[in-house]
Amino acid sequence: MIENSVLDISEEVTNARAENTPIVCLESTVFSKLGLPSPANAKALTRCLSVIRDHGVVPAVTAVIDGRLRLGLKDSELERILDCEEKIAVRDLSYAVARKYSVGVTTVSASLAIVNAAGEKVFCTGGIGGVHRGASETFDISADLYALSRFNVLCVSAGAKVFLDLPKTIEVLESLGVPVLGWNTNTFPAFYLRDSGLPISEVTTASEVIQVLAATSSLGLDHGVLLNVPIPEEAALDSEVIHELIRSSIIELEDKGITGQDVTPFILERLAKETEGASVPANMALLENNASVACTIAKLL
């Protein structure tokens, strides 16, 4: 950490670095009410932290706490993010510090910025944002994609959220020069679904992933690497059902004039309701699976 910066690194993470213990960084939005309904969000947080610790790895959750950017949170601070409804993207970080936000949960883009500033390399999330449908008119493209192109961090994800325009998301990542890898798959996962049908480059070992990350750094490139892990087969949802729900959700979004950062929470909440809660355990399963893969890589790295 740079002295006198706006970033605080927890004692646990600091000790892990000193002892060369592997670290996996996490966003906090997914564990707030904006990501999963209560009490599933608390359960998901507990389970993900346990998976990481069971691997002998130290988890480092990112957030804004008391006007400071944070990497690694105490138990009392983790409690604060569960009920938080203040979502912080990368563009909001400076403002959140200047206004001394009491608590703010960080998205993928903000988390990647914090992880990069701290000098860490392995970050884990559920699913990244991407190009929203109709973006040719709205220009609604997630800051996650640009953050991946700016910060030299490995991002482990279950692909992009299924309700996005996935072909355009892949195209934007290609334009930005971000390597898009598949963990034992050669097609892009789509969050609740294992296969979007879009081809990507397959890797089968942690060593391969690390070689890609190392080659990126050796070339002097500042972008990150996106590693996409399919949701476990037993937890995946029915493709036809999900696509029909998304179609109707998008119509409802347009009718209600919902745009920007409000889109994702709205659709996730509707999917949870319309699938009678089936999307919630699916979300939890992919979070745990991603955390496990991230730990495998962090230990070798």
| Closest listed residue to residue 264, CA positions, set 94, 5, 32, 66 | 32
Identify residue 286 by its one-letter amino acid code. L
Q: How far is CA 189 from CA 84, 138, 156, in A?
A: 29, 25, 12
Residue with tokens 């598949």, as numbered in its chain: 182
Q: Does the active-site annotation cover 86?
A: no
| Strand-pair partners of 7 | 69
Q: Does the active-site annotation cover 27?
A: yes
Give the dihedral sign, CA 166/172/174/176: negative
Q: Which of 19, 27, 33, 240 is catalytic?
A: 27
Q: Phi, psi at residue 30, to the nearest 5°?
A: -65, -25
Helix (H) and strand (E) counts for the chain?
12, 11
Q: Which of 33, 120, 161, 288 is catalytic?
A: 161
Residue with tokens 């927890």, as numbered in its chain: 10
Residues marked active site are found at: 27, 161
